[in-house]
Amino acid sequence: MTAKELIQKIEAAFPPEKAAEWDNSGFQAGRRQKEIKKVLVALDATDEVIAQAVKMKADMLLLHHPLTMSGVKSVTTETLTGRKYLELLQNDICCYSCHTNYDVQEMAQLAGNMMKLQKPEVLDCTGIDPKTKEKMGFGRVGSLVRPVALRECGELVKTIFKLDNVKIFGDLEQVIQRVAISPGSGKSMIEPAIRAKAQVLITGDIGHHEGINAVDEGLAIIDAGHYGLEHIFMEQMEKFLKAAGKDLKVAKAETGNPFAVV
């Protein structure tokens, strides 16, 4: 199928109109008429990922995070972003990003299901789904199957999302059951989690001040990292693409957490 046809299938499942206004989801680079036979799925277009796409002779690089969140005034070898665009274009690799529209349509529910949240609700509502007439938005909030200590909840997150470690703000022996989860950068999810009466927020990219202030507000934080929760995008999108085109060869980027704790 062509890039245009594959993009139509992606956008039917993850409507672009559900993306945040500040986002830059969508077709990033390439030719809509390009025949797509091989797709590489990744979170970010790092140099390593682009090299993998070139090596496997991918026709499309399907990303979660856009190549850039701001406009591009020029495409030259003088900037990092310019070099990435050039590498993709010179190798005739299309690039498409499915970002906050995916977060709203799929990521939030998927993460909540993985935590087995009972009676999950949208954490931060961004609107009403025109088809289902239900709330849509970022994150989910609900109850664990049983009460657990905050420490045990952290261990559950490590096991479920296959992580080596998490960072926890709060009393490790505190018993919690009402949980909010929001993959990605979750600083803006602290207030919605407090309003939802969550006892803990599972998210990423929480700084020192945000963490201690949340605890003072009665909300514990489990920081599993940005990659730590969002890597589920790759496996789910791999399954989606294989169902979308039986002749498509789909691979997940060989990447891991971008930093190490030593």
Tens-binned pLDDT, residue by residue, of the chain (262 aa):
999 999 999 999 999 999 999 999 999 999 999 999 999 999 999 999 999 999 999 999 999 999 999 878 899 999 999 999 999 999 999 999 999 999 999 999 999 999 999 999 999 999 999 889 999 999 999 999 999 999 999 999 999 999 999 999 999 999 999 999 999 999 999 999 999 999 999 999 999 999 999 999 999 999 999 999 999 999 999 999 999 998 999 999 999 999 888 8
> How confident is the model at residue 246, as a pLDDT?
87
Task: Write down the pLDDT at residue 71.
Answer: 78
Which amino acid type is present at position 214?
A: A
Same domain (yes/no): 37, 117: no
Q: What is the pTM of this model?
A: 0.95
- Among residues 120, 140, 153, 235, the alpha carbon closest in space to that of 183 is found at 140
pLDDT at 40: 98
- Of 79, 98, 117, the residue at which a domain comes to its end is 98
pLDDT for the residue 70: 83
CA distances from 83 to 57, 74, 77, 156, 253 (A): 18, 11, 5, 40, 20
Instruction: Answer with the one of 98, 133, 155 that is the final residue of a domain.
Output: 98
Torsion of CA 206, 210, 216, 221, to 10 degrees: -10
Count other Cβ atoms within 10 Å, centred on residue 58. 27
The verdict on 94 and 8 lying in the same domain is yes
Number of separate domains in the chain = 2
Distances in Å between the alpha carbon of 13 and those of 18, 22, 114, 243, 246?
11, 21, 20, 12, 17
Does some domain include residue 254?
A: no
At residue 86, the pLDDT reads: 97
Q: Are residues 66 and 169 in the same domain?
A: no
Please state whether beta strands 200-204 and 220-223 pair in parallel, antiparallel, or not at all (unpaired).
Answer: parallel
| Same domain for 54 and 145 | no
Q: Measuring CA to CA, how many Å separate 61 from each of 82, 108, 184?
A: 16, 23, 20
Q: Which residue from 4, 6, 10, 2 is spatially nearest to 237, judged by alpha carbons?
A: 10
Yes or no: say if 95 and 26 are a contact pair by the CB < 8 Å rule.
no
Q: Is residue 240 part of a domain?
A: no
Distance CA 2, CA 75 (A): 25
- Shared domain for 213 and 105, answered yes or no, is yes
Whether residue 161 is contained in a domain is answered as yes
Q: Same domain, yes or no, for 67 and 133? A: no
User: What CA–CA distances, in Å, run from 148 to 15, 117, 159?
Assistant: 37, 13, 15
* CATH code, 55: 3.40.1390.30
Q: What is the rounded CA–CA span in Å between residue 132 and residue 186? A: 26
Query: In this structure, are 125 and 208 located in the same domain?
Result: yes
* 145 and 220 co-located in one domain: yes
Residues 7 and 110 in one domain: no
Q: Are 36 and 2 in contact (CB under 8 A)?
A: yes
What's the domain range around 149? 101-229
- The tokens for 234 are 């790759």
